[in-house]
Homo-oligomer: A and B are copies of this chain.
């Protein structure tokens, strides 16, 4: 069983993560992890924080001579911004934030944890935490890559601008995606997305959107139909929904499928004309999962992200100390983080698949796992 925990505040010294359950012998390519961290930092519409940070992972445990040893991986990502906050944290004289911002964890968190200040809540309920997840997911991607599983994503919508996704294979789509800062493979829609982001910024507003994560090369039979909490679609839904601001998840185009008759939805099976015939499909409306198990087609997860809840335009709220109505005050934020979130989505999908693959193949080293696969 693969497990991870993350810790760290947005303006604290660093983010940390511990990953338990990796096999021994996995080459941990630090630059590959840093590449994923950089992908998360990019995207049109990001705010000032991303100009400060240059995320790099430090490995504090679990690796010897460049390979995992089976011991837990210990990861650390420095917060450069910490230098600007350190003294104020120590002095304890940061002003209290007593007006919860709609759409944020502020209100629920203050009530839950018995606080008269939202700061301890927003320090943790911050998208910054996802940097740690991306580092963890990057390791999962390295493991998956050894089994020819590749995870990528694209942005499908931003603020109501819906991309027309070209009818290409996933690698081709991803190539188009990596080349642009809204990560949408429809280049014409990408332009309109940038315009929409600019307009939202000018209006003191924010935007959400939809992204799709896919994994290719996944073997048949990850997850199981036999018990509710072992279904892979359910685990993917949990993992992707756990990303801050993600409020909707579907496997394949599920809400669209729900409007069609069965004969137009279910992916028929055929036989390839190869020398060694194998089962093929000509459609993948199931998003690669049937009965809670992978069916050999690409796993496709789509996610709906709400607009960033921090808006320059004040929203109505209440000062919880005085009990009087008050307007929210702007905290530094992004206008749109859908491109970044799609990278976090990849991390979480990679995580779930790596966990399921390890469970399926067993084995305590990469060599043993590979031996089990063949």
Contacts and interface: CB of A to CB of B under 8 A. Distances in A.
Contacts of A252: 247
Contacts of A101: 266
Interface stretch (A48-56, A169-177, A361-369): A361-369
A226 B73 CA distance: 10
| Integer count of this chain's copies in the complex | 4
**Interface SS majority for chain A:** mixed
Interface stretch (A30-38, A141-149, A178-186, A305-313): A305-313
Nearest to A211: B258
A207 B250 contact: no
B291 A104 contact: yes
Nearest to A162: B259
A287 B103 CA distance: 11
A137 to B, nearest CB: 11
B5 A226 contact: no
A257 B307 CA distance: 8
A195 interface: no
A209 interface: yes
Interface in A276-320: 277, 279, 286-287, 289-296, 304-311, 313, 315-318, 320
A262 interface: yes
A231 to B, nearest CB: 5
Contact of A258 (B13, B203, B248, B294): B248
5 contacts: A5-B5, A20-B227, A102-B290, A114-B365, A372-B372
